[in-house]
Amino acid sequence: MAKAAPARAIHQLGRRKDGPFVQLNCAALNEALLESELFGHIKGAFTGAYRHRPGRFEAANGGDIFLDEIGDIPMSIQVKLLWVLETKEVEHVGDDRRVSTDVRTITATNKNLEELIAQKKFREDLFFRINVFPIHLAPLRERSEDIPLLVDGFIRKLQAKTAKKISGLTPAAMERFMIYGWPGNIRELRSALEFAFVIADKGLIDLDQLPPKIVRPQAPPAAAGPFLHQTAEQEHWAQAAVFSSRPGDSEEKRLLIEALRQSSGNQTQAARILGINRVTVWNRMKKYGIDLKKILTL
């Protein structure tokens, strides 16, 4: 769902929006089933094939197909997928006739395909075929400014699903969401809110209604100094220990404001200018009580 949303947005904003949008998680099926799902099969092609069945590429004709976790596709399927992308023709399992398709292919993966190519686990020619217009989505820990919007969206969906009158997070719970590292990215955030909806009845979700892993972060080891920044989680703990006594706060605030003005309030760009990450920018804005609207209008 998390990666399907951007793919669906591409579909809905494109020229093929009136056509079908078909998606498939390539990691969820074994090799035989994946081949059948992608390209279809004819009756009698294998045990259990009691009727002809078109594949996902045929179903997406005139629209878009989204192949999630494409890095998990077996090499044998990669060869056939490359053929379809090159010729725009599909060959059913068990048949030698070809069916023309007009499909735009959108793919996603959480793996480094160039590393897989070096390991001979992914075809280089297929990589070049699907890597026409790459879009790199940063992990959630690197775009913490998206968290409040994501929380609001997921809460609205859970409200409709559960009919519970839960309206949001307490400031303390939102702060924990903002500084947590989210190794599971958006899926983990959604799961945390689903957990909270089971525990809470109404009102605002508080710390005691969040998963223990999120509420009780691990502090960095004693040997790790405050400027090593192994993770966003460790960085927060280190900053908390030194903020009260570190000199040069006024200079730090001035530099932060300058970076925010230079980036027109974009916290990601401001982080790049300062050589820190977005969680640090957010923490410092909170520490100094910086109001973006005010500093951008001065």
Does the pLDDT value for residue 45 go beyond 60? Answer: no
CATH class of the structural domain 4-130: alpha beta
pLDDT tens per residue, range 164-211: 999 999 999 999 999 898 988 888 999 999 999 999 989 999 999 999
Range among 104-113, 231-240, 249-258 with highest mean pLDDT value: 104-113
Tell me which range, 71-80, 211-220, 254-263, is most confidently predicted by mean pLDDT: 71-80
CATH for 248-297, options being 3.40.50.300, 1.10.10.60, 3.20.20.150, 1.10.3470.10: 1.10.10.60
- Averaged confidence pLDDT in the chain: 81
Q: Which two tokens stand for residue 224?
A: 């790790």
Q: Domain locations in the chain?
A: 4-130, 140-215, 248-297
- CATH architecture of the domain formed by 140-215: Orthogonal Bundle (1.10)
- pLDDT tens digit sequence for 53-109: 788 999 999 999 999 999 999 999 999 999 999 999 988 776 777 888 999 999 999
The residue that leads in pLDDT, 248 or 280, is 280
- Rounded Cα distance, 290 and 153, in Å: 26
* Amino acid 40: pLDDT: 79
pTM of the model: 0.60
Phi and psi at 22, nearest 5°, equal -115, 135
Task: Find all residues with CB under 8 Å of 159, minimum gap 6, and list them.
Answer: 165, 166
